[in-house]
Copies of this chain bind each other. A is one copy, B any other.
Amino acid sequence: MQRIPPKSGAAFLIKAGQYLKVTDPEGEQVSDMVAFAAADTGEFLSSGRSLDYASRLYLTTGDRLYSNRSREMFDIVADEVGRHDFTLTPCSKDTFRIIYGEESPSGGCQENLERVLKPWGISPDRIPIAFNCFMNVAVDGDSGEIRVLPPLSRPGNSIVFRARMDMIVGLTSCSAGQSNNFRYKPIDYDVLPDFAGLPHAASGARQATFADGLPDQ
């Protein structure tokens, strides 16, 4: 198990067939995830493609995440929380300045991802909309208003992804107070060769298996 300290980030390789388990050890903590194909980092995890193909804003167990080239990057194979965001870019100095009116903001997930992805040759401009694990964004279907609410994750809850290609993954412990209920906590992750299920599965967590084709929906 690897721990990402509060308000920081990590980048690592994952191989096709391996599993990435992202755990919120203390609860109510967001983790922004981005991914790039190891073979060609011009290919990256795409919110716009994934949401279009799922026809849903909220992705969970049984859903598939696609690249900008419409290739399969991840399957979500287990999810104890069931609410994540895939519409917003990582928080940044500019986020804190523009939305929250901070005069001298420190950096956020954007700057943390820039730092950890730089050794992989990925420039700041290429950090896309993240899959924001555990981020709870409520949408009003009439007005389109979006509100960032405290995450639904409780201590120890996790989400598990199966990698479908070799990738460089960037992952953070989010620095935005609004998305963490104003407590800044760590995030844990594991890259696993196999995955037998979540310990809490019996208590109602959703798990899924995927055939070689598209998930049944």
Contact A57 B89 (CB under 8 A): no
Q: Is A104 on the interface with B (CB-CB < 8 A)?
A: no
Among the listed B49, B88, B99, which residue makes an inter-chain contact with A48, where contact means beta carbons less than 8 Å apart?
Answer: B88
Among the listed B46, B89, B141, which residue makes an inter-chain contact with A49, where contact means beta carbons less than 8 Å apart?
Answer: B89
A68 to B88, CA, bound (A): 11
Q: How far is the CB of A217 from chain B (nearest CB, A)?
A: 11
A141 to B144, CA, bound (A): 9
Among the listed B89, B128, B138, which residue makes an inter-chain contact with A52, where contact means beta carbons less than 8 Å apart?
Answer: B89
Contact A52 B99 (CB under 8 A): yes
Q: Is A118 on the interface with B (CB-CB < 8 A)?
A: no
- Of residues 81 through 122 on chain A, the ones whose CB sits less than 8 Å from some CB of chain B are 87-89, 92, 94-95, 98-99
A48 to B110, CA, bound (A): 12
Q: Is A149 on the interface with B (CB-CB < 8 A)?
A: no
Q: Is A53 on the interface with B (CB-CB < 8 A)?
A: yes
Contact B125 A88 (CB under 8 A): no
Question: Which residues of chain B come closer than 8 Å to A143, judged between CB atoms?
Answer: 56, 58
A: which residues have CB within 8 A of B?
42-44, 46-49, 51-53, 55-58, 68-70, 87-89, 92, 94-95, 98-99, 123, 125, 128-129, 138-141, 143-147, 214
